[in-house]
């Protein structure tokens, strides 16, 4: 009966029967969901055989149907895994699910040309239950949480291999993980590892680096060499070396450079010895610790019957007068037995092929491989051409291969540098210079730093227009909405939506009509009467409460500030002349705050000398001036919302007696 490795669906076309050497088990039929299509949005049910009686791994850990759970989402290593999958011709992505504590949903990534959605789970337990075929746990947690999350993964019955990427995991925590893994016949790779790879089948995270490096090292198809090292960086170097002088890697593992690795060099060498496709084994150790001596004992006891080419790096340590700590936590000689020279000698005496230097390592690998070829133990590997990996758009743009149009244009701010800038002015500079809200508005609205009197005028407008009591239409709407239990944004928007020609929205129109009349040289009489003939009320003139003998204090304050600070107030004086004429017709036709702000803003724009006539017309036409009222009144509307909620006011219902019911 053909069986697949634990946790893998039996894809008969891709399944390698030698993977059975990994576990001893007794099958029984069951049904488990596994992925068949490239897109995670489409699934099918496949029969899956469960596994019992699991024992410590003695053969290969991975196959072409292996799937993993990825802990702590990192876009680049996951995408590299998926690109490797596509390169190898896998039918299914190797990442079954992502675990991001506190988050759920999907992450979009690419599987070749196709974009797929990979499920995101908030807990390890939920992910394991949702993806029972995933038996590898790739842990990208920080050293602070790596141990706890790894232990949680080891306790899941579906997880058989845990790879811990983080460096600096406390040694006491690592020892507990090792003990639990051994007691429960599971495998830990790491901590402080880049992971591992089975050529043409599966890889962990960033193992072997970029796609270009993977292709150069021919890792997209299996070779005949099993490789194990403590160093992830040196693994990449050796993958390259082995590809040059042999037919390539079958499986490669970096156990990590910590003092207590979850699995040892000899653990993996013994596994390689039981994998028929592995014809020779390459080992790269390093000074410090005594891990290599377990390999020496295995060689002496005849447990390894395949050629082993080994080198222990760190022979230069003897050149230093004092003890030297190399890059890895475990790379520190604690005595003669832990020196690179002593380990190399012991391995040589035990029967391993050990060169005289690292420079001779490549030659030893070549010679050993050639002997196997001559003896007929290694057959020629059929070369295949891997499919091209589609290049990401951002990468292609950076390399100058393609050009793509942007979808948004922004000229007022930029957040790409070390700190955001407003119209080119760094945020820190704004704070250090003691600039105010008016200065920020001048930068973001007008794209230039206006004189201080201009920014101060803007601030005065905001203060004077922030609120006008609870009875005006905008405030009333906000109050009613807040009392209906709606949130802040809903209450604010309900009030803002009343702003228009009849409520606070006449500033732009006032500025537009006053400017046109003044620029054309119309007298106040000609202006007002021409508007009357057109049936248009003069914007900025008239008030429901204020009269000629009871002027709006806000208007008086604005006029007083402008006369004291503006270089010119020609438009304001024209508006006052218009008011004089309209008051002769009715006592309520006074210059209101809309008219005051509109005419004075024209004086600000024209008098500052910083705007062209075309720019002034554009500012008025776009609606900049109404923006002042919207910004200012938002302050008051937010205040009314908070006031009603603080007072815990009930739902508002308009009284019947205030409604005229008629037919």
Active site residues: 328
What's the CA gap between 628 and 21, in Å, rounded? 76
Question: Half-sphere exposure of 61 toward its Cβ, with a 13 Å CA cutoff?
Answer: 34
C-alpha dist (Å) from residue 306 to 270, 272, 275, 345, 452: 10, 9, 10, 19, 83
What's the CA gap between 645 and 648, in Å, rounded? 5
Write down the residue that tokens 């029984």 correspond to.
28
Q: 299-330: buried (b, 16+ CB within 10 Å) or exposed (e) per residue?
A: beeeebebbbbbbbbbbebeeeeeeeebebbb
**Residues 285, 255: contact at Cβ < 8 Å?**
no
What's the CA gap between 284 and 328, in Å, rounded? 14
**Residues 201, 66: contact at Cβ < 8 Å?**
yes
Q: How far apart are the first and last CA of the chain?
A: 88
**Residues 233, 208: contact at Cβ < 8 Å?**
no
Cβ-based neighbour number of residue 12 at 10 Å: 8
Please list the residues that pair with 446 across neighbouring strands. none
**Residues 269, 214: contact at Cβ < 8 Å?**
no
Q: Could you tell me which of 61, 367, 7 has the C-alpha nearest to residue 226?
A: 61
- DSSP E strand stretches across 2-80: 29-34, 44-49, 67-71
Q: Is the CA virtual torsion 493, 494, 495, 496 positive or negative?
A: positive
């Amino acid at each position: 009966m053909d069986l697949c490795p634990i946790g893998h669906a039996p894809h008969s076309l891709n399944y390698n029967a030698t993977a059975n050497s990994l576990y001893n088990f007794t099958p029984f039929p069951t049904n488990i969901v596994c992925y068949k299509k490239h897109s995670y949005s489409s699934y099918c049910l496949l029969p899956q055989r469960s596994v019992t009686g699991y024992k410590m791994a003695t053969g290969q850990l991975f196959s072409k149907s292996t799937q993993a759970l990825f802990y702590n989402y990192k876009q680049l290593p996951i995408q590299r895994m998926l690109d490797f999958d596509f390169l190898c011709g896998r039918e299914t992505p190797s990442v079954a699910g992502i675990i991001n504590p506190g988050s759920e949903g999907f992450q979009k990534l690419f599987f070749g040309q196709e974009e797929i959605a990979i499920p995101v789970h908030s807990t390890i337990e939920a992910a394991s239950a949702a993806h029972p075929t995933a038996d590898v746990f790739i842990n990208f947690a920080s050293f602070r949480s790596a141990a706890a999350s790894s232990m949680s993964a080891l306790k899941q019955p579906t997880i058989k291999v845990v790879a811990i990427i983080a460096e600096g995991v406390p040694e006491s925590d690592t020892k507990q993980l090792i003990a639990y893994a051994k007691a429960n016949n599971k495998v830990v790779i790491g901590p402080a590892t880049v992971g591992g790879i089975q050529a043409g089948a599966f890889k962990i995270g960033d193992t072997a680096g970029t796609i270009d490096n993977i292709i150069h090292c021919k890792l997209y198809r299996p070779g005949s060499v099993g490789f194990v090292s403590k160093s992830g960086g040196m693994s990449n170097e050796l993958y390259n070396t082995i590809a040059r002088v042999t037919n390539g890697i079958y499986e490669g593992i970096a156990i990590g450079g910590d003092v207590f690795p979850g699995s040892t060099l000899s653990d993996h060498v013994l596994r390689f010895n039981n994998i028929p496709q592995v014809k020779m084994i390459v080992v790269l150790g390093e000074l410090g610790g005594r891990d290599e001596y377990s390999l020496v004992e295995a060689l002496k006891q005849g447990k390894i019957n395949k050629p082993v080419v080994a080198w222990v790096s760190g022979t230069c340590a003897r050149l230093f007068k004092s003890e030297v700590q190399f890059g890895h936590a475990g790379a520190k000689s604690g005595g003669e037995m832990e020196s690179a020279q002593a380990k190399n000698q012991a391995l040589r005496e035990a029967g391993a092929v050990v060169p005289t230097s690292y420079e001779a390592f490549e030659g030893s690998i070549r010679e050993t491989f050639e002997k196997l070829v001559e003896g007929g133990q290694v057959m020629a590997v059929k070369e295949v051409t891997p499919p091209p990996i589609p290049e990401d758009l951002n990468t292609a743009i950076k390399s100058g291969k393609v050009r793509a149009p942007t979808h948004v244009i922004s000229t007022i701010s930029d957040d790409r540098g070390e700190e955001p800038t407003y119209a080119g002015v760094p945020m820190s500079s704004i704070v250090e210079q003691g600039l105010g809200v008016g200065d920020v508005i001048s930068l973001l609205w007008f794209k230039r730093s206006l004189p201080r009197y201009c920014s101060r005028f803007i601030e005065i407008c905001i203060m004077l227009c922030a609120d006008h009591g609870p009875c005006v239409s905008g405030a009333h709407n906000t109050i009613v909405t807040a009392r209906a239990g709606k949130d802040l944004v809903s209450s604010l928007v309900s009030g803002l939506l009343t702003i228009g020609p009849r409520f606070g929205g006449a500033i732009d129109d006032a500025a537009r009509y006053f400017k046109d009349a003044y620029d054309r040289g119309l007298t106040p009489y000609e202006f007002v009467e021409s508007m009357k003939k057109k049936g248009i009320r003069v914007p900025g003139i008239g008030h429901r409460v204020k009269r000629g003998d009871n002027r709006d204090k806000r208007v008086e304050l604005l006029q007083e500030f402008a006369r004291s600070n503006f270089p010119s107030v020609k438009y304001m004086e024209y508006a006052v002349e218009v008011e004089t004429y309209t008051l002769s017709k009715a006592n309520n036709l006074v210059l209101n705050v809309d008219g005051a702000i509109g005419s004075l803003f024209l004086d600000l724009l024209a008098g500052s000398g910083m705007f062209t006539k075309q720019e002034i017309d554009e500012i008025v036409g776009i609606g900049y001036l109404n923006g002042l009222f919207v910004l200012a009144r938002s302050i008051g509307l937010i205040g009314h919302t908070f006031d009603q909620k603080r007072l815990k006011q009930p739902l508002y219902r308009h009284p019947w007696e205030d409604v005229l019911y008629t037919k």
